[in-house]
Amino acid sequence: MNIILFESRILEPYLNFLFIAIISSAIIIVPYFLYILFIEKKTKWILSFFIFVVIPFILTYMIFKQFFFSMMGAYFPVLFYGVYCLLLKSAIDTWLSRYYRLQAKQEAEAVKAKENIKINLPF
């Protein structure tokens, strides 16, 4: 037991730094990707952001109000934020592959239309 407590005291400054770095990046990035999701009309993803990140943050803050940054409960919203980002990344990969397929199809149709015009020209 003493070894575990000793190791946790050694790692605590690094974990706190990592925790602060993740929260700082979230504060910077979240408004931008919510803006992009709003423009793309991805309302389900915006709603899931509030379910995955905002509601757990509020509940955790209410439970651990006095000791918010020193309790392990403060790490749960960060964990949920990470899971949300992973899910969003996989969805964005799907959206981009659909977009690129559509672009390639439109370019192929445009090339085919140009060839048809050249074939039908009288000279």
d(CA 94, CA 92): 5
Question: pLDDT class for 91, splitting at 50, 70, 90?
Answer: very high
The gap from C-alpha 118 to its chain's centroid, in whole angstroms, comes to 47
Answer yes or no: is 122 within a domain: no
Answer yes or no: is 39 within a domain: yes
Question: pLDDT class for 1, splitting at 50, 70, 90?
Answer: very low
pLDDT digits (tens, 9 = 90+) for 60-73: 878 777 665 556 66
d(CA 41, CA 27): 22
Do residues 70 and 77 make contact, with C-beta atoms less than 8 angstroms apart? no
**Domain hosting residue 58, numbered range:** 2-88
Answer yes or no: is 112 within a domain: no
| Residue 110 φ/ψ, nearest 5 degrees | -65, -40
pLDDT digits (tens, 9 = 90+) for 4-13: 444 556 666 7
HEC string for the chain: CHHHHHHHHHHHHHHHHHHHHHHHHHHHHHHHHHHHHHHCCCHHHHHHHHHHHHHHHHHHHHHCCCCCCCCHHHHHHHHHHHHHHHHHHHHHHHHHHHHHHHHHHHHHHHHHHHHHHHHHCCC
pLDDT digits (tens, 9 = 90+) for 21-57: 888 888 899 999 899 999 989 999 999 999 988 898 8
Report the percentage of the chain scoring pLDDT > 90.
Answer: 28
Answer yes or no: is 52 within a domain: yes
Choose between 42 and 19: higher pLDDT: 42
Answer yes or no: is 19 within a domain: yes
Report the percentage of the chain scoring pLDDT > 70.
Answer: 77
Answer yes or no: is 9 within a domain: yes
d(CA 39, CA 37): 5
Number of domains present in the structure of the chain: 1
Answer yes or no: is 110 within a domain: no
Q: What is the mean pLDDT of residues 74-103?
A: 89
Identify the pLDDT of residue 5. 44
User: Could you tell me the pTM of the whole model?
Assistant: 0.68
